[in-house]
A = this chain, B = another copy of it.
C-alpha cells in the first residue's frame, strides 16, 4: 500500500485513540481528530465514511493485528497454552490502546467484537482437537469467550499484575 496512505491512517487512528483516552467518543469531532493527527480534514473523509466508520475500522484493525501476532499461521492453530500467554503479552505491550477501547463510555462495540471473534476461534479449536468431547461444545462456545473477555477486561482495567 502507498506509504502516504499508511501514514495518514496511522496518524488518524492514533489521534482517535488518544482523544478517546480523554473524552467520550460522542464528544469527539472529526475536526479535533484532524487537528490532533496533523492531517487535513478532507483526508479523513478520503479513507473513512464518518467517525463511526473510523472507529469501526480502527477496532477491526487492532483485533486483526492482535490475532495475526498471537496466532501465526506457521504453527497451525497451536494449543491454547502458549497462544494465550502470547495474547497477554501483546495486550500488556499495547495496554494503552486496549484499555482505552475497553473503557471509553459509549463504545460497547469493542467488547462485542472480541467476543464474536473468540467464539469463532474457539469453535475452530474445539473441532480440531477432539478434547473435552464429554462436555457439550455448544455450551462451552457460548460461555468461554464471555468469561475469558471478562477476565481480560478486569486484568487490563486494573492495570495488570
Contacts and interface: CB of A to CB of B under 8 A. Distances in A.
Interface of A: 3, 7, 38-40
Q: How many copies does the complex hold?
A: 2
A40 B6 CA distance: 13
Contacts of A3: 38-40
Nearest to A7: B38
A39 B7 CA distance: 10
Contacts of A7: 38
4 contacts: A3-B38, A3-B39, A3-B40, A7-B38
Contacts of A38: 3, 7
Contacts of A39: 3
A7 B40 CA distance: 13
Nearest to A6: B38
Contacts of A40: 3
A7 B7 CA distance: 11
A40 B39 CA distance: 19
A3 B3 CA distance: 16
A70 B91 CA distance: 43
A38 B7 CA distance: 9
A40 B40 CA distance: 21
A40 B3 CA distance: 8
A100 B152 CA distance: 43
A40 B7 CA distance: 13
A4 to B, nearest CB: 9
